[in-house]
Amino acid sequence: MITKAVDVLNEFSETEEKLAYQMIRKKKDIQLFASDGIEPYVYLGNTRLEQFNLIFGYIGRGNKAYKACHVSHVDQHVPFVQTPGSFPFRVWVDCRDKSDVSFHITIGNDSIDLSNSQENGETSELLVVFLECPDFVQFSLFDGRVAYQKVSHIFTASKQIMEKMRTIALSMLEESFPGLNEFLLKIEDDLNEEV
């Protein structure tokens, strides 16, 4: 349950309180990815995941020009922060409307809403959420540079597709967060040496 006394899960905005209520009490299809700058938290509904690899990053433009990314891989957690004050960093994925998955992002004290149906003009924001669990992978994307379908939300248990999704997620974030690929390669190399 999200009522644990963890700083990143406290002091929700009004919108976040509503999302948490829908997720926990109403059992709606809402997910939370959060980082306090040290470790990540993943909730799918009111279930907290314990074993996962996660890459989630946001690149904002204009007056919300944040760059924040958190990577967790095999119990190694690293925030890739380009903007001071980027934590807490929370991404709510609202899947209640399957035809228009939307995102609510909190970075520091700011909130950002992203969806296909938003009408606040052109945006070039980028949000990538890649979750890898032992049995499935989920990839969520908002790319404001795309003209029509800005949101993609994919869930699969296919091992072949899992690796391809990871490649896409890393490719989209590497330019804004240099060292991301090297960090993951080092972890993999360390794991291979232990075997």
Task: Determine the length of the chain.
Answer: 195
| Helix (H) or strand (E) segment spanning residue 54 | strand 53-59
| pLDDT value at residue 5 | 32
Please answer whether residues 113 and 75 qualify as being in contact, where contact means their C-beta atoms are separated by less than 8 angstroms. Answer: no
Query: CA dist 1 to 44, 91, 103, 114, 182, Å?
Result: 11, 17, 21, 26, 35
Give Rg (Cα) of the chain. 16
Distance CA(82)–CA(16), nearest Å, equals: 24
> Looking at residue 76, what is its pLDDT?
83
pLDDT of residue 153: 95
Cβ atoms 166, 188 nearer than 8 A: no
Q: Which pLDDT does position 161 carry in this prediction?
A: 92
What element of type H or E holds 188? helix 180-194
The total of other beta-carbon atoms located within 10 Å of residue 132's CB is: 21
Per-residue pLDDT at 87: 80
pLDDT tens digit at each of 195 positions of the chain: 333 335 688 789 999 999 999 999 999 999 999 998 888 999 999 899 998 999 999 998 766 678 889 999 878 888 876 677 778 899 999 999 988 899 999 988 889 999 988 765 567 899 999 999 999 999 999 998 888 889 999 999 998 899 899 899 999 998 888 888 888 888 877 777 776
The vertex-70 CA angle with 172 and 97, nearest 5°, equals 70
Contacts of 138 (CB under 8 A, 6+ apart): 129, 130, 131, 153, 154, 155
Structure token digits, residue 156: 């699969």
Q: Report pLDDT for 82.
A: 65
Q: What pLDDT does 195 receive? A: 63
Q: Cβ contacts of residue 65 below 8 Å, gap of 6+?
A: 83
